[in-house]
Amino acid sequence: MKEKLQGQGRILVVDDDRPLLEALVDALESMGYEVRGESSPAKGLALVGAWAPDVAIVDQKMPQMDGLELTASIRQICPELPVIMLTGFGTIQDAVRAMRASVYDYLTKPFDLAEVELTLHRALEHRRQLQRYKFLAEATSRGAENQWLLGDDPKMRAIRESIQAVAGTDSTVLVTGESGTGKELVAKAVHTAGPRREKPFMVVDCAAIPDTLLESELFGHAKGAFTGAHQAKTGYFEAVADGTLFLDEIGEIPLPLQSKLLRVLEEKTFVRVGDTRRRLVEARIVAATNRDLAREVEEGRFRKDLYYRLHVIELHLPPLRERSNDVPQLVDHYLKQLNRKLNRRTAEVSPAAMELLRSYSWPGNVRELVHLLEHILTFHHPQALAPIHLPSHLHHRGKATLPRVTYAELKDELLEEAGREYFIALLEHYGGNVTLVAKHSGLNRRHIHRLLFKWGLDPSEFRG
């Protein structure tokens, strides 16, 4: 089988003028493109689906079907395919019509080869952009927010330094760590700290894609490569181009695909499923897993050679319980962010509550912490976050750590917080009517006014 290495692109030319067609095909081939020429519009159209060109050049005047009709039919099969129209000299009127019919560009005959090359170059770039946007729209719908990697723990400092060190290289990076420790954040940081920052960053969640589809999602497929492959398809390796491809949950890749991936990483080329054309891998690869890959290798679930290939540079994220002194910093940061997002005004965390947060074991790591804060701010809106707002599993600590408050302090704090919440609920219910609040609570009005003053609560704000 003849394999061809071409990063340039596939061009389909349709023109009924055979000598001209052959001349153009030759010229384009010598420019390094992969070219197919057809003198029949119907056959050309069939190739759009079957051969998946990157750009089509079509003649405007053909007896069976004119160029505009052909363009319209091409659009139906492949809306993103840029079409360049060949027009006779002086038919500018037609050229304008052609542009309106969503033709990408036009070339007038007789053409200047430099102009042909320039137009093709732009069309290919346009096509690439379109594919990129399509993928990016999917990839960014995962709510990728720009976020900095927090933590003063020496291990986190070391991670940040390593990110800076590897960002400028093209080396494959393996990010490991338990679930929710920030692997995706690190992958993103490797991308944004390096020269590819303006290029796409795409995430492939290998665990979320069924085994049978994973290969074609990664590498794309040719039309008819398997049942159901009605159209040729671009894969992630192609769409990400020279950006960064983040292979998340790489430990979930089935063994046969592991071999293929190894070859791709070593040879820096890949082939679409069912295709013969070799394409260059231009992307930087970052992989992540929460599995212990060394153990997976021992137990025969992960290829040893792929493991070695991936773990040349490994960034290992510590679980949050091993850096519990970072908890206050994370809490402060996410509290601010969530206040903005949920329109809340929880200004602080009481010392007792912070102690519970700090000493909890966080099996779900930073993600669990963020979710917990979001839950609290959604369902309560305390001025200060106190132990009563925390779920019971944070109170029942496994291995008790030393609390930093006295019993009296703890009791006062709990009572203060609970009391404040209690009266807010009553004020809300009774629309700020202190007489009714007094009746309900069993305290007299003077006492209530004193408490409300201390807490900075104004009954009139609860009216209406």
Q: Which residues bind ligand ATP (CB under 6 A)?
A: 147, 149-151, 177, 179-185, 290, 366-367, 370
Cβ neighbour number for residue 219 with a 10 Å cutoff: 24
Establish if 105 lies at the interface with Mg ion (CB under 5 A).
no
3-class state of residue 433 by DSSP = coil
Give strand ranges (E) for 25-104: 34-38, 55-59, 83-87
- Cβ 244 to ligand ATP shortest distance, Å: 15
| Binding residue for Mg ion, selected from 38, 184, 215, 355, defined by CB under 5 A | 184
3-class state of residue 5 by DSSP = strand
Is the dihedral angle over the CA atoms 57, 61, 65, 69 positive or is it negative? positive
- Cβ 139 to ligand ATP shortest distance, Å: 14
Is the CB of 270 or the CB of 334 nearer to Mg ion?
334
Q: Which stretch binds Mg ion (CB under 5 A): 182-190, 211-219, 238-246, 313-321?
A: 182-190
Closest CA to 10 of 67, 69, 45, 51: 51
Count interface residues toward Mg ion (CB under 5 A).
Answer: 1
Residues 414 and 386: beta-carbon distance below 8 Å: yes
Residues 185 and 326: beta-carbon distance below 8 Å: no
Supply the Cα-derived Rg of the chain in whole angstroms: 31
Cα 459 to Cα 439: distance, rounded to the nearest angstrom: 15
- Cβ 364 to Mg ion shortest distance, Å: 12
- Cβ 8 to ligand ATP shortest distance, Å: 36
**Spatial CB neighbours of 83, under 8 Å, sequence gap ≥ 6:** 55, 56, 57, 58, 71, 74, 75, 102, 103, 104
Using CB distances below 5 to 8 A depending on partner kind, what does residue 177 bind out of ligand ATP, Mg ion, none? Answer: ligand ATP
Using CB distances below 5 to 8 A depending on partner kind, what does residue 12 bind out of Mg ion, ligand ATP, none? Answer: none
Q: Which residue is nearest to Mg ion (CB)?
A: 184
Closest CA to 319 of 166, 99, 156: 156
Q: Looking at residue 202, what DSSP letter applies? A: E
Q: Which stretch binds Mg ion (CB under 5 A): 142-150, 180-188, 324-332, 409-417?
A: 180-188
Is the CB of 53 or the CB of 177 nearer to ligand ATP?
177
Is the CB of 150 or the CB of 209 nearer to ligand ATP?
150
Stated as kind and residue range, the H or E segment containing 173 is: strand 173-176
Is the CB of 366 or the CB of 385 nearer to ligand ATP?
366
Using CB distances below 5 to 8 A depending on partner kind, what does residue 220 bind out of Mg ion, ligand ATP, none? Answer: none
- Please give the biggest Cα pair distance in the chain: 103
- Cβ 286 to Mg ion shortest distance, Å: 11
Using CB distances below 5 to 8 A depending on partner kind, what does residue 366 bind out of ligand ATP, Mg ion, none? Answer: ligand ATP
Establish if 185 lies at the interface with Mg ion (CB under 5 A).
no
Residues in touch with Mg ion (CB under 5 A): 184
